Structure 1
Amino acid sequence: MENFDELRALARRKRDAARKRVQAEYEITLRQIARLERSLGFDQVPGHRKMRQTIDTVIPVGRDFTADEVHAALETADPKRAWAKGTVDKYLLKLRKNGIIQRVRIGTAGKSAIYRRAEHPTRLPERRTLMQTVDDVLTGPMTLKEIVVAVLAAGFVTIRTPTDLGHQLTYKLRNGPFRFDGDRWEKN
């Protein structure tokens, strides 16, 4: 019995060594082919476009768009190709950092971020801090729930739930120029 186990182990080692040799030869051959293609001027397969070239062509001009719309346009433009959502999102982030596109609206829970090409610049709304918004909406004594509703109605963008925003507001109101009287907050 032991002899058969030894024979099996020896066969596995031989098989694994042969696989490693073939894999190494295959990788060397692929590198040589790539080197030859580059020397002949074939950086890519004829008819095949690079990912960034395809994304650049499907980004709409003169109107707002979301990353999901770009992804759907890519699927339509080249349905045979696999378009990884993460890769597309990273390229859009790179375009935004390079100033080629602008983010018009930040993505929040349930709402995608909205982008626009920089060739058609728009005046983006000034981002206000939470306390600047509270200072604007707190005109008289208000409960915490009323403050949360007023802050969100004023257009403050957050990824927090209203409950979490209320917790954050309580902390900031206690440490700011506000006073708590009964169940209502007001400015000092």
Structure 2
Amino acid sequence: MQQFILGLTGGIGSGKSAASQWFESQGIVVVDADIVAREIVAKGQTALSAIEKHFGPWVLNAEGELDRRALREHIFKHPEARKALEEITHPAIRHSIIEQLQAAQSPYVILVSPLLFETNQHQLTQRTLLIDASEQLQIQRASQRDLQNIEQIKQIIAAQMSRQQKQQRADDIVLNDGLLSHLHMQLEPLHQSYLQLVQ
């Protein structure tokens, strides 16, 4: 039987993590694209060597690990550098995601990715769930959580696909505009319907 993969996405501060944690508490395996993206550039990984080769030794810190801040600032000043970085990291991320999804042992498996549609990762899934929130709420939550400045958060939101586009592309949408308990209440019937789909 083909494995059922649910793609879970949402903008910064929308509550993707809160939703994926709830699914995990129900015994569903979650593969998080953000975690995979960190794993593939860990010390000793081929993608890290490729990044160093392309950008130069300054991308590594004293410990020989990726200096994220330096790279982030470089990309911010040279937007064309993002494309080069993505050409190195995206194939490695995709490969690792596929491996982890295939190894997952649960009734269905969830791929959590903030860029599910932007990077075509939705093609790996059978169904997609959008955790949605107003931009105002996204900014409020992200600034409280990451202590990033509002401008940076707005730039991240602007770089992501618009809410409207995501809403049009997602199969299921949960509006996360209230309490955590309200989010969980909306996820429960969806979880049941996904279990039905895999029977």
TM over 0.5: no
More relative contact order in 1 or in 2 (CA 8 Å, sep 6+)?
2
Q: Which has the higher helix share?
A: 2
TM superposition score normalised by structure 2: 0.18
Structure possessing the higher radius of gyration over alpha carbons = 1
